[in-house]
Amino acid sequence: MKAALFVGGWEGHSPTNFSDWCEALLRDEDFDVDVYTTLAPLADPTSLADIDLIVPIWSSARSAHRPEFGNMTKPEEDGLLKLIGDGCGLAGWHGHMGDAFRDRPTYHFLIGGQFVAHPPGWPDNLVPSDDFVDYDVTITRPDDPIVKDIRSFRLYSEQYYLLTDPSNEVLATTTFSGDHLWWIEGTVIPVVWKRRWDKGRVFYCSIGHRLEDLKVPQVTEIIRRGALWAAREEQS
């Protein structure tokens, strides 16, 4: 199988470090991996016709106002939609996928959601340590191959509040306290989901602000399985 990683955008999220981690993970699963530091190849989807999996590691949280972080153009968005619609898989995590390309609503239709806040870092706290909370990740479909035999677990990191597509197949959720925003107390938000986009498969995990988050054994395994599912390989 073959994977393409699109790596770039805002350096504050260290996309290259995440790319190195993801490349090693996929190579261990016998993927050939190409790494792109520009989105331009997406504008010509025929050049990526042999790709089984796309992983966006593109940190563009402020791209709507800061074009130097690498906006996605309409031809690039159209190319990505065509690739996934034709059967290529798409998999990713946290802001590198869920908060990228804010000015491209159809991209967020494709992935099934959009990051909007991480209390207490709301509306825009730029000190990462101030954004971290202890929170539970609750497995909701324990028989699904992506999360099978993985128990619910606890993390200390950013807890993503997302607007999500009701057609997603939600595999894990988190419940917000009212400690920072009283009016969202008890709100249940998806953490891990999978979905279809025509012939393609899409997987997303909201965990992953720090590389250490992805190295939590449960998270590593969920992302590994999710990437394989998106690339249409059966799970053992």
Is the predicted pLDDT of residue 236 greater than 50, yes or no?
no
Classify domain 2-230 at the CATH superfamily level.
Class I glutamine amidotransferase (GATase) domain (3.40.50.880)
Q: Residue 235: which pLDDT band, with cuts at 50, 70 and 90?
A: very low
| β partners of residue 172 | 139, 192
pLDDT tens for 52-78 read: 999 999 976 554 445 555 689 999 999
Q: Are 173 and 157 in contact (CB under 8 A)?
A: no
Task: Name, in order, each residue with C-beta under 8 angstroms of 222's C-beta and a sequence gap of 6 or more.
Answer: 146, 147, 150, 171, 172, 192, 205
Q: Are 98 and 115 in contact (CB under 8 A)?
A: yes
Mean predicted confidence (pLDDT) in 164-174: 98
pLDDT tens for 3-34 read: 999 999 877 778 999 999 999 999 999 999 99
At 23 the pLDDT is: 98
At 232 the pLDDT is: 82
At 97 the pLDDT is: 96
Average pLDDT of the residues of the chain: 91
Q: Are 90 and 201 in contact (CB under 8 A)?
A: yes
At 123 the pLDDT is: 56
Mean predicted confidence (pLDDT) in 175-181: 92
Task: Name, in order, each residue with C-beta under 8 angstroms of 236's C-beta and a sequence gap of 6 or more.
Answer: none
Is the predicted pLDDT of residue 42 greater than 80, yes or no?
yes
Q: Which residue has the tokens 């324990």?
A: 142
At 61 the pLDDT is: 53
Is the predicted pLDDT of residue 96 greater than 80, yes or no?
yes
CA 24, CA 16: separation in Å to the nearest integer?
A: 12
Integer CA distances (angstroms), 231 to 92, 153, 193, in order: 12, 26, 15
At 62 the pLDDT is: 52
Is the predicted pLDDT of residue 153 greater than 60, yes or no?
yes
Q: Looking at the chain, how many residues does it have?
A: 236
pLDDT tens for 197-230 read: 999 999 999 999 999 999 999 999 999 999 999 9
